[in-house]
């Protein structure tokens, strides 16, 4: 016999013995009563879990609506300030562009202050 066959036989025997043990336990009146009580408790647990899940879902719904409301209020408060700041930056953009062009033209000529005449070439 190879290893897989031995493992299969051992698993089958284990399941069979567990089935026999459950059968013997349920054959006795105390076992049946215990099984009945266990099933009733698990049913109650399911009901309590369902109630708890509904409560949590309702709380999540309320918190979500509060967060959405707060986000809208913050947007309505912050948006005009942001728009004002963007407009201010856009108004300053031409001055910044001129300063940048001036700085780049000086470095592009290796520090030379004079520009070449329009018809001259740099050969």
Q: Coil, strand or helix: which one is 116?
A: coil
Q: Is 111 left (phi over 0), alpha (psi -120 to 50) or beta?
A: left
Provide CB contacts within 8 A for 109, sequence distance 6+. 115
Radius of gyration of the chain (CA): 41
In the chain, the percentage of residues whose pLDDT exceeds 90 is: 1
In the chain, the percentage of residues whose pLDDT exceeds 70 is: 85
Phi, psi (rounded to 5 degrees) for 67: -65, -45
pLDDT, residue 40, reads 81
Nearest Cα neighbor of 102 from 113, 89, 117 is: 113
User: Looking at the whole model, is its pTM more than 0.75?
Assistant: no
Task: Give residue-wise pLDDT tens across range 104-117.
Answer: 776 665 555 555 55
Task: Give residue-wise pLDDT tens across range 13-54.
Answer: 888 888 877 777 777 777 778 778 887 888 788 888 888 888
pLDDT, residue 27, reads 72
Domain boundaries, the chain: 17-105
pLDDT (mean) for 82-111: 79
Average pLDDT in the chain: 79
pLDDT, residue 96, reads 81
If you search the block for the tokens 């698990």, which residue do you land on?
A: 42
């Amino acid at each position: 016999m190879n290893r897989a066959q031995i493992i299969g036989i051992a698993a089958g025997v284990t399941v069979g013995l567990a089935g026999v043990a459950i059968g013997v336990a349920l054959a006795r009146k105390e076992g049946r009563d215990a099984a009945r009580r266990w099933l009733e408790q698990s049913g109650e647990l399911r009901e309590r879990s369902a109630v708890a899940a509904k409560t949590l879902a309702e709380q999540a719904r309320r918190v979500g609506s509060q967060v959405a409301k707060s986000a809208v209020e913050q947007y309505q408060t912050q948006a005009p300030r942001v728009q004002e700041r963007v407009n201010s930056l856009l108004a300053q953009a031409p001055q910044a562009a001129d300063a940048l062009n001036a700085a780049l033209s000086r470095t592009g000529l290796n520090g030379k202050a004079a520009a070449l005449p329009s018809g001259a070439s740099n050969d």
